[in-house]
Amino acid sequence: MKAFGKILGLVLLGLLLIIVALGFALTHLFDPNDYKDEIRQLARDKAHVELTLNGDIGWSLFPWLGLELHEASIATLNNPKIPFADLQMLGLSVRVLPLLRREVQMSDVRVEGLNLNLSRDEKGHGNWEDIGKPLPAATAASAEAGSAAPADAPVQASGDNASERLVKLDIDSLTVNNARVQYNDARTGQSFGAESIQLSTGAVHEGVNIPLKMTAFLSSGQPVIKARTELNGELRFDRRLKRYQFEDMKLSGEASGEPLQGKTMTFAAQGQLLVDLAANVAEWNGLKLSANQLRALGELNLRDLDKTPQLSGGLSIAQFDLRNFLDSIGHPLPASADASTLGKVELVSRLQGTPNSLALEDLAIKLDDSTFSGRLAIEDFAKQALRVQLKADKFDADRYALAKSDAAKGAKAARQAEVQSKEAGALAGAGTTPLPDAPTQVAWSSDKLLPVDRLRKVDLQADLTFGQLNLDKLPIENAHLKAQGQGGLITLQTLRGGLYNGDFEAKGTLDVRPAVPQIGLNTRINRVPVEHFIKSESGTPPVKGLLTLSSDLTATGNSQKALVDTLNGNASFVINDGILVNANLEQQLCQAIATLNRKALSGEPRGKDTPFQELKGSLVMRNGVASNPDLKVRIPGLTVNGNGDLDLRVLGMDYRIGVVVEGDKRDMPDPACQVGERYVGLELPLRCRGPLELGAKACRLDKDGLGKVAAKLAGDKVSEKLSEKIDEKLGDKVSPELKDALKGLFKR
């Protein structure tokens, strides 16, 4: 038996030597380059690809099955002249004996100069879809042959059995140098590319971490973007469990191109990635992102990968300067009224989304001095369906308003100069100064107000509340704004709040579907101090009091000037418990009575406020001009009636006022204007013209109208004397009826 064992060992040794000798003979005496045509035909018949071998083939047989290809390319059988992929060199070697155990043990795998070209035609068909597919004729022939196959042909092994026979991989390393991948889509015109790809790995074993490093230059065609990238990490996979991990992943680089407007953005991302295809989930934990000065932390989770993927997770963005960040990536914001706005922005939110939507739930935003909380979502990316539900402690909207253009500033300065020149001599006094001229300078800006093209695409639902909202220098308390928009029609469902112990509410529509935007606005103001709406350039309001107003207005245009020029509608107003500032109507009245008495005032005119109980009227708007036919003011001892126009285009007014003495017979400050019984019920005329900011300071005695009043008084005085003569002469000689008839005859 011992001799038999020795003989068997010698036989095996002899066989091994013979195999080695045969391997040596095959690799040295057999040249695969002589069989390139057979190899190409074999690739056509078995792999269904067109293989082109322009370079030499090197090989070894034992103990390593080695292969080295040079200048090779692969094309589909449908388009054999256009290579799908080509490479300069591919080198690999596999241990022979482990192959018998379905194990692949490779030494270093090296790929040089790989070019991979992917494309879709105008019908959406990708060229990679034809790889490994026979020509249609061959397919038909195989189908006919298949129809003649016996019915009891063996059934393909199930997926579970196939997974049990997975080939075990064992590769010392993988190196790819100077590779290139290009993708083109004829339908959309899009193109993407990756060039100068350098890839290197450590030992590749299933179930253990595989060190990986890759660098590449990425690009896209529409828009043009270029990026330099570097990727590092450790890859781990388990094909049986369908589980893939990328641990300590770090991606970094810098990008430039058309969207960045000549600027460069540095970026980085890192974290732990997991894809579990058996559970259909993917995770990105320990997420860290940066782009220039922006820094973010978070985590992302995807589920239902086999259906419609569902996103969840969280995101936290550290405080950063949004204005500087947008400028650094080529998207500078227009100048605002306060250049320091958007300097402090931070965000924390929980994320939810699908491939076509994204929602920021439990959102907390700090914007400069304001804090917002709520929800912000895009329910449909394609439709730009924006949903906003936010609450803020305070927000100063005036700081974020667009800065006025030089043209608007020049127009405002010109009007200020005009108003100041008229105001200099317009302080109410004895009424001897000339009546101010009507203003001529336009009071409104021609700057563009609305981004019409964007608004036409907006699908919006917004619900905003503010503890304190500053809007157009008005401090609104507990403000609530609710609006919706779709298809170019935006509806302001409500904007309401408290204002200086009063309240207001506005509703309206903005229609940007026509070439020129159309606006409709319905407003209600309840007992709000009017001085906060009407101010003069000197800072002193012309009138004070509690305003109650209702209006229904329409306008068209996309600038302040255009909207005012086309303003139409109706309004009614009441001002209670008010004051006409620096407007001494008593002095005006005194001047009128002194004129009628043919006396001169002894005192100097003094500026003095005139209090009133009520000022009310209605307005009819026509193309920026408001007609007010029924102005009434109740002042103790006086009633003021008026009618005229407010030209909102230049903020000017032109009124005729009648002051009626109701019977206050108290002594006036000046003896020349003593009010006697004959002046009770008399209407004294005033004319008011000039900038609206001047208020009653622009009013003067209407001398033409006063002449008519004097003539009437003179006639009344003559009639009074004739009546006395009739009483004296007739006495009791005639009946009282006849006396009254004679007196009435002379009064006519």
Q: Report the chain's terminal Cα–Cα distance, integer Å.
A: 165
When mean pLDDT is compared across 540-544, 607-611, 696-700, 735-739, the lowest value belongs to 735-739
Given a contact cutoff of 8 angstroms between Cβ atoms, the answer to whether 265 and 291 are in contact is yes
**pLDDT winner (highest mean) among 287-291, 441-445, 575-579, 589-593:** 287-291
Distance CA 538, CA 691 (A): 13
pLDDT at 52 over 90: no
Mean pLDDT, residues 354-365 taken together: 96
Give the least confident one: 4-18, 552-566, 606-620, 651-665. Answer: 4-18
Contacts of 729 (CB under 8 A, 6+ apart): none
What is the reported pLDDT for 57? Answer: 74
Instruction: Evaluate whether 506 touches 522 at the Cβ level (below 8 Å).
Output: yes
| pLDDT at residue 720 greater than cutoff 70 | no
- Which is higher by pLDDT, 204 or 295? 295
Q: What is the pLDDT of residues 236-276, one digit of tens each?
A: 999 889 999 999 999 999 999 999 998 999 999 999 999 99
CB atoms within 10 A of CB 85: 17
pLDDT given at position 20: 46
- For 289-292, the CB contacts below 8 A with 24+ separation are 290/266, 291/265, 291/266, 291/267, 291/325, 291/329, 292/265, 292/266, 292/325, 292/328, 292/329
**pLDDT attached to residue 46:** 74
- What pLDDT, on the 0 to 100 scale, is given for residue 536? 56
> Which whole number is the average pLDDT over 551-578?
94
Q: Across residues 677-699, what is the average pLDDT?
A: 75
Region 392-408: mean pLDDT is 82
Spell out the residues 6+ positions from residue 363 whose beta carbon is closer than 8 angstroms to its own: 347, 348, 349, 372, 373, 374, 375, 376, 390
* 415 pLDDT above the threshold of 80: no
Q: For residue 405, is it left (φ>0), alpha (ψ between -120 and 50) or beta?
A: beta
Spatial distance between the Cα atoms of 524 and 41, rounded to a whole number of angstroms: 87
Angle between helices 585-596 and 703-730 (to 10 degrees): 50
d(CA 209, CA 230): 19
Which pLDDT tens digit goes with each residue over 184-228?
998 888 899 999 999 999 988 888 999 999 999 999 988 899 999
DSSP string spanning 558-609? SSHHHHHHT-EEEEEEEEEEEEETT--HHHHHHHHHHHHTT----SPP----
Complete DSSP assignment for 276-303: ETTTTEEEEEEEEEEETTEEEEEEEEEE
pLDDT at 676: 54
Q: What is the pLDDT of residue 466?
A: 96
At residue 104, does pLDDT exceed 50? yes
CA separation, residue 698 to residues 75, 225, 653, 702 (Å): 90, 64, 9, 12
Q: Which of left, alpha, beta for 233 (phi over 0: left; psi -120 to 50: alpha)?
A: left
Q: Lowest-pLDDT range, 126-130, 136-140, 627-631, 669-673?
A: 669-673
> What average pLDDT does the segment 598-627 reach?
79
Please state the length of the chain: 748
CA-to-CA distance for 129 and 123, rounded, in angstroms?
Answer: 13
Q: What's the pLDDT tens digit per position in 454-470?
A: 888 889 999 999 999 99
Percent of the chain with pLDDT over 90: 43
pLDDT of residue 472: 84
Pair 576, 546: CB distance under 8 Å = yes
Helix/strand/coil for 682: coil
CB-based contact 280:309 (threshold 8 Å): no
646 vs 678, which has greater pLDDT? 646
What confidence tier does 640 reach under pLDDT thresholds 50, 70, 90?
confident
Q: pLDDT by residue (tens digit) across 470-487?
A: 988 889 999 999 999 998
Could you tell me which residue, 101 or 289, shows the higher pLDDT?
Answer: 289
Backbone angles phi, psi at 616, to 5 degrees: -145, 165
3-class DSSP string for 235-273:
EEEECCCCEEEEEEEEEEEEEEEHHHCCCEEEEEEEEEE
**Range with top average pLDDT, 64-78, 175-189, 595-609:** 175-189
Give me the mean pLDDT over the 506-522 stretch.
95
Say if residues 336 and 399 touch (Cβ distance below 8 Å). yes
Q: Worst-scoring range by mean pLDDT, 53-67, 515-529, 594-608? A: 594-608
In this predicted model, what pLDDT tens digit does every residue of 11-21 receive, in sequence order?
Answer: 444 444 444 44
Cα separation, 447 vs 559, whole angstroms: 6
Contact 277, 283 (CB under 8 A): no
Average pLDDT rounded to a whole number, residues 618-642: 89
Tens digits of per-residue pLDDT, 322-352? 999 999 999 998 888 898 999 999 999 999 9
The pLDDT mean for the chain works out to: 80
**pLDDT at residue 361 is higher than 80:** yes
- Bridging pattern class, strands 568-580 and 610-622: antiparallel
CA distance 495 to 524: 10
Quickly state the pLDDT bin for 73 (edges 50, 70, 90): confident
pLDDT value of residue 216? 96
Q: Binning pLDDT at 50, 70 and 90, where does residue 701 land?
A: confident
Low-confidence winner among 142-146, 308-312, 511-515, 517-521 (lowest mean pLDDT): 142-146
> Per DSSP, what are the bridge partners of residue 574?
548, 616
Q: Look up tokens 């020349």; give the residue.
A: 672
Tell whether the model's pLDDT for residue 612 goes beyond 60: yes
Between 134-148, 630-644, 731-745, the lowest mean confidence (pLDDT) is in 731-745
